[in-house]
């Protein structure tokens, strides 16, 4: 009798294991289909146009545009189609095609003509490291990966070789294996604009001697050529715009000690001012004079000096933090702070931070104890206007998911326009105060309909050895403290295609800085299994019924795993 019971138990388990249902149109989607077609069995281009306008919130949609989309979808679903019309199944399958129905418009649409400090910039930390901060390797592979992801700020630490004649890139004071500077620069030159046409900024941590800096100047001039940005007189008073710097590479570092007098700009400014005055008085064109002098010696080509190639001057933080955050008239600069110093500055001098970032660029980097290349939460920095939140791109984790989410904005070009309130001043010079609670500005409603794709991307025993998975979805709203919230759906037991059909509301006081983090997990007796994640900027969300592609822990898209969701912003 026991053997018979065991037989039936294993037979039951076997059947559960291979119970995979087919994805079918949800009743709610059938209702939408019928509402748009007036209960007809086929959806015409005119019906589809009605769906795009009334349910998806698209504007200025023509019948011809709707027909073009339908034809592209039908070519993908069944290439031998005869008529341009959707059945209910066609319509439901269309909803799952992220190429046509994704949650974000991947086009550059922000104003790109403002100065650089008006933007959040996708920034890497120790961009050459492939592993941890102490014994990891240094390689151009990680630099290339970062550029392909759209990172626009690459950090290189420059150190003399043992012979003092060459230049290595490595994390100083550690056992990280070095890589040659020339390799790094060549990799940047070849891959800088693969993902985005907007400028790449190289922040240099300079530990070199004067003669090695001359080598750097020659190297970057020869490798980057015309793409290297050469600052002109007055450029340090106001940063150029991303649009003006398209396909350009900029260097950013502190002026060397031997040029400390140039920090105040006294010598250069006085000469420039004298030249300007003489030009006005005697109509002398000094550029023409210099050009004539160069023509007299056509065989000589002068390489610009190291300091002449610094496109963005970096400043050393003053020991007194409040003084370091003082806004100086007529001089735009970049300042770097560690994450712990930022926390202190945000606590004590929040409005000074915001005011400083209206004129200057602030870079924040991870604390030294993050040996395994983890990252800090970036929202505190962003809500104070920090442009360069430097992250270890080779790692993974929830903080990096947020970074990925923020820079899915604006066509994933690596530059996201800061909200206007971070760049504006009131009549009495007051600025945005992150600590002050605000009224709810908008409410985001999110409905999680269903999910699919795990059966294709995972083995049948990946989540549970003897039964189908039990999926649930967690939604996290990340933003200013008043907007932070997390919710979760119920668990759907034993189903590879879970249907939740649950709606959640998120009141938002600062929707411009809000991120919606989506994580799917599979319930287990012990620790729940990870089943996918993504993070989306609320300000970029398309309203309506949308398909959301999920990613693995490192941010790489799964081939098939998707959620069908609906977004409503009121």
Three state DSSP letters for 489-520: CCCECCCCCCEEEEEEEEEECCHHHCEEEEEE
- Are the beta carbons of 570 and 466 closer than 8 angstroms? no
Classify residue 556 as exposed, middle or buried by CB count within 10 Å of its CB (0-12, 13-18, 19+).
exposed
Q: How buried is 72 (Cβ within 10 angstroms: 0-12 exposed, 13-18 middle, 19+ buried)? A: middle
Please tell me the distance from the alpha carbon of residue 515 to that of residue 388, in angstroms, as a whole number. 18
Length of the chain: 570
Out of 47, 118, 168, 171, pick the active-site residue.
171
> Is residue 236 among the annotated active site residues?
no
DSSP code per residue over 349-360 = -HHHHHHHHHHS
- Residue 321: how many CB atoms within 10 A of its CB? 16
Other C-beta atoms closer than 10 Å to the C-beta of 499 total 16
C-alpha of 17 from chain center: 40
Reply yes or no on whether 230 is catalytic.
Answer: no
Cβ distance 157 to 205 under 8 Å? yes
User: 181-191 vs 140-148: helix axis angle to the nearest 10?
Assistant: 20
The DSSP annotation for 141-159 comes to HHHHHHHHTT--EEEEEEE
Judge whether 553 and 562 are in contact, CB under 8 Å.
Answer: no
Cα angle vertex 371, ends 370, 373, to 5°?
70
Active-site pick, 47, 118, 125, 168 = 125
Q: Is 445 exposed, middle or buried (0-12, 13-18, 19+ CB in 10 A)?
A: middle
Q: Is 1 exposed, middle or buried (0-12, 13-18, 19+ CB in 10 A)?
A: exposed
Question: Which residue in this structure is represented by tokens 């550059």?
Answer: 108
Supply the residues annotated as catalytic: 125, 171
């Amino acid at each position: 009798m026991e053997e018979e019971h065991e037989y039936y138990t294993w037979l039951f388990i076997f059947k559960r294991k291979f119970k995979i249902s087919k994805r079918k149109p949800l009743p709610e989607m059938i209702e939408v289909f019928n509402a748009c077609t007036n209960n007809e069995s086929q959806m015409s281009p005119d019906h589809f146009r009605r769906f795009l306008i009334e349910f998806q919130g698209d504007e200025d949609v023509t019948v011809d545009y709707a027909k073009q989309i339908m034809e592209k979808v039908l070519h993908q679903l069944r290439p031998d189609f005869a008529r341009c019309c959707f059945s209910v199944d066609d319509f439901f399958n269309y909803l799952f095609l992220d190429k046509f129905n994704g949650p974000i418009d991947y086009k550059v649409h922000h104003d790109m003509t403002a100065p650089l400090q008006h933007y959040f910039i996708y920034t890497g930390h120790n961009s050459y490291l492939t592993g941890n901060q102490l014994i990891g390797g240094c390689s151009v592979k990680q630099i290339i990966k970062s550029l392909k992801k759209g990172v626009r700020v690459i950090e290189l630490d420059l150190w003399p070789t043992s012979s003092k004649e060459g230049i290595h890139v490595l994390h100083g004071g550690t056992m990280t294996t070095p890589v040659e500077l020339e390799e790094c620069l060549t990799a940047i030159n070849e891959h800088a604009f693969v993902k985005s046409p907007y400028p790449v900024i190289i922040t240099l941590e300079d530990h070199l001697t004067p003669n090695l800096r001359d080598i750097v100047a020659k190297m970057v001039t020869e490798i980057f050529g015309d793409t290297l940005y050469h600052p002109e007189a007055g450029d340090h008073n106001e940063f150029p715009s991303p649009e003006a710097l398209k396909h350009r590479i900029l260097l950013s570092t502190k002026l060397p000690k031997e040029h400390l007098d140039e920090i105040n700009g006294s010598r250069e400014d006085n000469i420039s001012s004298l030249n300007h005055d003489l030009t006005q008085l005697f109509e002398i064109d000094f550029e023409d004079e210099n050009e004539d002098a160069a023509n007299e010696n056509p065989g000589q080509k002068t390489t610009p000096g190291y300091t002449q190639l610094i496109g963005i001057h970096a400043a050393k933080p003053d020991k007194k933090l409040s003084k370091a955050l003082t806004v100086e008239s007529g001089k735009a600069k970049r300042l770097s702070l560690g994450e712990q110093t930022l926390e202190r500055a945000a606590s004590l001098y929040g409005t000074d931070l915001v005011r400083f970032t209206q004129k200057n660029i602030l870079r924040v980097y991870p604390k030294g104890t993050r040996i395994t290349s983890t990252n800090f939460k970036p929202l505190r920095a962003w809500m104070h206007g920090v442009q360069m939140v430097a992250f270890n791109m080779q790692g993974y984790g929830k903080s990096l998911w947020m970074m990925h989410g923020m820079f899915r904005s604006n066509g994933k070009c690596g530059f996201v326009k800061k909200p206007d309130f971070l760049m504006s001043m009131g009549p009495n010079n007051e600025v945005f105060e992150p600590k002050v609670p605000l009224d709810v500005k908008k409410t985001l409603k999110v409905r999680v309909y269903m999910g699919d794709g795990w059966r294709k991307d995972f083995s049948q025993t990946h989540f549970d050895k003897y039964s189908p998975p039990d999926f649930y979805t967690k939604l996290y709203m990340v933003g200013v403290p008043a907007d932070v919230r997390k919710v979760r759906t119920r668990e759907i037991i034993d189903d590879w295609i879970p249907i939740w059909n649950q709606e959640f509301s998120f009141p938002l006081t600062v929707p411009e800085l809000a991120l919606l983090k989506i994580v799917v997990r599979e319930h287990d007796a012990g620790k729940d299994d990870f089943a996918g994640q993504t993070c989306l900027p609320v300000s970029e969300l398309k309203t309506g019924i949308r398909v959301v592609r999920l990613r693995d822990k490192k941010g790489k898209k799964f081939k098939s795993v998707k959620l069908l969701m609906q977004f409503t912003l009121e």
